[in-house]
Structures are given as C-alpha cells and as structure tokens.
Amino acid sequence: MKTKRNFAVLCLVLVMVVSLFAGCGKQQQPPASTQTPDTTQAPQKSAGGLKFPELPNNTLKLTVNIPNFGTSPTDTLVHKEWEKRMEEYLGVKLDITWNITPWADYRSNEKILLESADIPDVATYSQGAYVNQYGEDGIVLDILKYRDYMDYYPLFAKETFGGEAFAYNPDGTAYYFMDGFVNPENITGAQSFTSFAYRFDILKQHNLKPATTIDEFTKLCADIKALIDAGKIDAKYVMSNQDKNYAFYRGFVGIFHTWDTLYWNGQKWSFGPIEDNFRTMLKYLNQLYSAGYIDPEFSTDDGAMCTEKAVNSNHVIVPTLWSGMARVWNTQTTIEGMEWGLAFLPEHSDYGTPWKWGSRQEGRSLQTQMGIIISARTKYPEYVVRMIDYQYSDDMIEMMNWGIEGVTYTKTADGDHIFSDEILNAEDPVQKAADYGIMSSSACRTGIPFTPLTFEAMTEQIPGEPWWNPVDGYYEGKYWIESGRLGGPESVSPYDRPPVLRLSADESTRRAELQTNCDSYARQEALKFITGVLDINDDAVWEAYIKGVKSQVSDFDGTLSMLLEKSDLSSLSR
C-alpha cells in the first residue's frame, strides 16, 4: 500500500516537474547575432571595389521583423521575385526568417522591442527620430558607417526636401532608412482628411449641393436639419464621425489654417490646439453642436459603430474621414441608392484655401516617421545595408510597385505603365494587386517595408469614389488626384513642408513628449468646448485650458523655442 502511494506521489511530482520546466528551454536564439561586426577578422571578398566578408556556404542568414498590412507577402509572386533579384544583386543566397505581425500589434510593440535591445537583424520601423537614442546607445546600426555600400538611398536623401540635412543627423549619423516616395508627376494630393463626405443621393433628391464655403456649409446643415425634422430625410442627425479614435475636428483644422498637434505653421513651430485659429474653429463646432447638427455619440462610437450608422442612414455628412471610406460605405450599405461622395473642404473667407494633410513632394522624397532599422549586432552589416539600399533602386521600385511585366502590368511605347486587365477589372483591384504582392496596393507590402512608393502605381489601382466640385458637378474621381487638383498647390499645408530639424536624441524626446502628452490633454478638453461643457467664449476658461496644455510637459515654451532654434530655415527655400 505504502509503495503504491509513494509511486503515485513520484509520478505526480514528475509530471509537475516536467510541466514546470516545459517552458524553460534554451532561450530563443537572439535574432541578431550577438557578435559585434568584425569585418577585419573575417575572410573578405571584393565586388565592385567594395569589400564583403566571406559568408558560410555563401548564405546570408537573417531574421527580419515586418508587419502584415492585411495580406501576408511571403508567398506572393512579387516577394519571390524580390528574393531572386536580391540574391542576384548581392551575389549570395538569402536565408531569411520572416517574423510577420499584424500592423497594429507591430506598432504597439516597437518601443518595447527597442527598449529591450532585442531587435532582429532588420526590422520595419515607424517611430521616427525616437530611434536616435537607441542608435546612440549602440542598439541600432548607424547606416552611414556603411555609406560606401549604398548606391541608391543617397539619391533619395539628396533630392528630398531639406536634402541630406533632413535625412541624416547633424553629427553625421543615420539610424534608419527613411520611407521613400516617388512622385515624378508632382501629384500634391492629400492622404486623407481633405474632403467632407456627403450623402450625394440625399443632396440630389432635395436639390442641395455640397458646400464650397464655410457659410454655405452652415446653411446646408440648417437645411438638412430642417428636412430631417420635417421627416423628408430619413436620418437622425446632420453629421457624425468616422471613428472615435480620430478627433472630430481633424476635418476642420485645415479650413481654419491651424493643426491638431505640434506643427510648423509657416513661421515657427506651434502647438495648434492653443492657437487663436483653433479657438475660432472650436467656437464654430460648438455652434454646430448646440444647433443639434452633430450626433451626440460622435466621440464615443468606435469605427464599427460609426460604419453601422453611416450605412444605415443615421446622418448625411461626415467631415472627418480617411480616403476610401465613402467607397466602403457604398459597398457595405443595404439601402438601395445610398451614395456617399466627397467634396473638397469648404473655404473660410478669413483664411482662404483650406490646408490639406499628407501631400507629398515632387520627385524622390523621404518621410521621417516610417522606415527600416538594422541591429547594431547584425553579423554582416555590409550585406544588410546593401540589401536595404537596393530597395531604393529604380528596378526594384518598379518591380515592387507594378509587379512583373507581362503578368501584372504592361508598358506602353512611351514608357507608361498600365496594370493588367485582371487587376483593373477585378471587383476589388487593390486586393487583387495585393494578392500578387504589389506593395503600391498598401494592403500587401513585399520586401522589407517601408519601400519607396510610386504614386502612379498607387493611384492607378485605387478605385474611384463619387466626387463633386462646382465646375464639373458630380463625377467619379480618385482621392489623391482630386484633392491635388481641387486644392491646388496653395492648399499644401506648411505642416507638410517643415524646415529641417537638427535635434539630438534628448531634444527629439522632448519634442515627442510635448506632442504625445499635450495632444492627449488637448483632445479631451477640446471636446468639452465643442459640447459646451466648457465655455469657449469665456477668456478665463480658454486661458486655463492653455495653462493646462502647457502643464503637461516640464518646459512647453522652452521646447517650442528649442525647436525653432534647431530648425534649418535655409532648407525652406528649396
């Protein structure tokens, strides 16, 4: 009996011990080699005057972290072509372990990854100058140490607004490859938040038109409200939001020539939400809210709830929305005849042409927020730098944005690209392009994102949405093209053309802190002004609000002054 009991106890203990240590295996191999690059010791080979270390079995083994933008790239045609061309270019075999994470999760984990210093050989990156402190700490590779291995990226750095001073740090370092854009046709269209969405079917039915001025917009709201109250329009409210995650006023800031965050206002660095223009905008929005035009749930409905309302005729206007949403609502609705369409922002007589958000520069350019980082501990930085650099070459840009000639696109005699009928005539051309791994679809990004995007490829595959303007009336257009055409060059916001900033790691952190902390506070308080919880007309309340915004960081005014001091104003003349 006793032996039996002891045996049972022994078994139980064994089971528990085994389960206890089940998760305690050898720690996962750090993604990047723990050895510091030591090219002097390794056997080397030469190619084109450059010295490369000898690789075991001539194979470059790497771990790469990339996000998934909706469609996984690894099995796509373009991705396979990317690997093939890259191997040919580098003259080695690639053995890449791809760690692919959904984009939203990827972004939220980036800072932790950097902070833990456990980054893979290469990783997509989206936190801008924040990486500099980790570069200085020796976690991220200074790519300029391997400048000789780059043939194509320096071209982007040279041609972008602000030039090399923009792309590289003042101390001659650069800790990430910035996201590239190719815009030879100089399309100055906006990314989003540059048009209001209207229910075109309702406007047509009641002989109304989208507004071209803010006064017209106010009158239009009043007319729609009267029609709703009279039961002639099947809707509950005049307007609502697209998602609580986007401040409702984001669609209005450009009209009032201000911004919803820290920005370059043409003369200096300014925090938009404490500007007088911003206050004027809040007064206007408070009027709209008080008049009962705005759905009271505009700041609490999430994306799904807002979409449900939009497709079920809850409201007639959405002033703040991402490009493409009007088309989404039109395809998701079950109400026959429902037509959401877009019109450029209405103009305010005091401010002139509204500003748009996210318009790109002509030719090649770089953008600071997104990019690619390389671990300082990667074993063969020469190869890795050269590999990333090759993504900026014309050949690779063409391949990644258009796919394979004869399969996904054809070229005309004068060199223009045209996507295949299979893509253009697909029910969802963007998804079809993504299925091939064409990165200009943005739903699938092949290679190591972010790679340069060509506007022609992107605009060609994007399906049209209903648009309106006072000259052409109702028609179908594409967001980037229409927002560029209708706004004209004067609608390009100074926000999108700031001077080059030469900040140290600490200064970058101060800037980021001001932006993050003050944005969050301002958004909450601005909402109170809109809904009338705080009196926007009371100067004392406004002053207290400004004081509150400034108290979110230790030296608000000092940080703004520092930013101006560190701005290379000569870069504005480019």
Partner 1 sequence: MERLQNTSRKTLKDFIPQQVLKFSKLLWRQKSLVFLALPPVIMVFLFRYLPMYGILIAFKDYKPLRGVWGSPWETPLFENFIRFFNYVDFKRLIFNTVKVGIVSLFFTYPAPIIFALLLNELRFKKFKRVVQTISYLPHFISVVVIVGMLNNFGSLGGLFNQIRGIFGLEAVNMNSGDKYFLLMYVGSAVWQGVGWGAIIYLAALANVDPTLYDVANIDGANRWHKIWNINLPSILPTTTVILILNAGNILSQDYTKILLMQNDTNRSLIDVISTFVYRVGIAQGEFEYATAVNLFVSVINFFLVFITNKIVQRLNPENSLW
Q: Which residues bind partner 1 (CB under 8 A)?
A: 5-6, 9-10, 12-13, 16-17, 20, 24, 108, 111-112, 114-117, 137-139, 244, 247, 296-297, 299-302, 305, 516, 520-521, 523-524, 527, 551-552
283 phi/psi in degrees, rounded to 5: -60, -45
- What is the nearest approach in angstroms of partner 1 to the Cβ of residue 375? 12
- What is the nearest approach in angstroms of partner 1 to the Cβ of residue 300? 4
Query: Is 42 exposed, middle or buried, given 0-12, 13-18 or 19+ CB atoms closer than 10 A?
Result: middle
344 three-state secondary structure: strand
Closer residue to partner 1 in complex, CB, 117/572? 117
Angle (nearest 5°) at CA 107 between 105 and 112? 95
Tokens of 361: 């520069």
- What is the nearest approach in angstroms of partner 1 to the Cβ of residue 517? 9
Closer residue to partner 1 in complex, CB, 201/260? 260
The residues, ordered by sequence, that sit 6+ positions from 6 with a Cβ below 8 Å of its Cβ are none
573 three-state secondary structure: helix
CA distance linking residue 282 with residue 499, whole number of Å: 28
The residues, ordered by sequence, that sit 6+ positions from 150 with a Cβ below 8 Å of its Cβ are 143, 385, 386, 389
- What is the nearest approach in angstroms of partner 1 to the Cβ of residue 63? 18
Alpha helices in 369-454 (DSSP H): 381-390, 394-402, 421-424, 429-436
Nearest residue to 252 via CA among 230, 232, 279, 231 = 279
Closer residue to partner 1 in complex, CB, 54/557? 557
Closer residue to partner 1 in complex, CB, 76/241? 241
Largest CA distance in the chain: 98
CA distance linking residue 166 with residue 366, whole number of Å: 9
Closer residue to partner 1 in complex, CB, 19/349? 19
- What is the nearest approach in angstroms of partner 1 to the Cβ of residue 139? 6
Establish how many alpha carbons lie within 13 A of residue 141's alpha carbon, considering only the half-sphere containing its beta carbon.
30
Closer residue to partner 1 in complex, CB, 230/304? 304
- What is the nearest approach in angstroms of partner 1 to the Cβ of residue 10? 7
- What is the nearest approach in angstroms of partner 1 to the Cβ of residue 468? 31
Closer residue to partner 1 in complex, CB, 82/106? 106
Nearest residue to 452 via CA among 49, 47, 177 = 177
Closer residue to partner 1 in complex, CB, 5/26? 5
- What is the nearest approach in angstroms of partner 1 to the Cβ of residue 108? 7
The residues, ordered by sequence, that sit 6+ positions from 8 with a Cβ below 8 Å of its Cβ are none
Closer residue to partner 1 in complex, CB, 364/379? 379
Alpha helices in 28-125 (DSSP H): 77-90, 103-116
- What is the nearest approach in angstroms of partner 1 to the Cβ of residue 296? 6
